[in-house]
Amino acid sequence: MNKAFIVFLIILFHSKSSFAQKEWRNWNSAEVSYEVNKKLDLKLTQLFSFNITDSFTNNFNQSSLQADYDLNKHVSLRAAAMFTNFPSSGTNTMRGILRFSYKFNPLKFLTWTNSIQTEYHSNQETRYRERIIYVSRLSLKKRLKFLRLSPSVTYWLFYNIGGDPIRHYDATGAKTYSTPDGFHRSRLFINLNSKINSKFQVSLYYMNQQEFNFLTPENRKMNVISPVTGKVYRAFDKYNVLGVTGILELKKPKKKSK
């Protein structure tokens, strides 16, 4: 209970300045999930991102293939591949994902899932090469009767490694070049999932992204300002998202008994 309370405090602190951010985006996703058996699920997802505050400009489009395997009722593994296209620059990036998750019930009605996710990105991604991500999710154990809703809150904390070096400056103003490794991003998701029927679900969610220099030495920071020109290197990317996801769940047909 104490740990759950701490997570809620982090979420409230994170949300305090979220709505003050000017940029809003819209993420629309379609997902097809296939249950191979009771332990293994496959998912194919297509996401489209639009900038609401910039005449609904298409930011990026993302396709992913994901496999989830339950080792037992508490522990699960995930492997995924993700392809992202950025229309404005014509750039395409790819990443591989591995995740380890542990789920338990701190209260009878509450499920708490904690995950460690590792990512490796292709050379076209210049901001980082690898990322280690801590994911903490609180959700109800059972759906509400009203619209068969399942509310959840999820917090992501990102640790970046590698990417293209950027300019840093020492106390004398001399330039150095190094990669901005460290804790530089968090995301907060507030999600409402409604189970329409046995095969179809709809999720509506709000997401806030923050970027920062947390526990970061001077030569690993982002958002570095040149003391001469005032130019900002690797500026923070902060924004809000309103999203909707349609989920189609398919299952392997049961063999008919003779």
Polymer length of the chain: 258
Predicted pLDDT of residue 14: 54
Predicted pLDDT of residue 49: 98
Ranges in the chain, pLDDT < 70: 1-21, 255-258
Burial of 222 (0-12, 13-18, 19+ CB in 10 A): buried
* Residue 147: other Cβ atoms inside 10 A: 13
Predicted pLDDT of residue 202: 97
Distances (CA, A) of 164 to 125, 198, 224, 235: 9, 47, 14, 14
Answer yes or no: are the C-beta atoms of 105 and 112 closer than 8 Å: yes
pLDDT tens for 123-165 read 999 999 999 999 999 999 999 999 999 999 999 999 999 999 9
Predicted pLDDT of residue 5: 47
Predicted pLDDT of residue 173: 77
**CB crowding 164-177: b at 16 or more within 10 Å, else e:** eebebbeeeeeeee
pLDDT tens for 17-29 read 555 567 999 999 9
Burial of 104 (0-12, 13-18, 19+ CB in 10 A): exposed
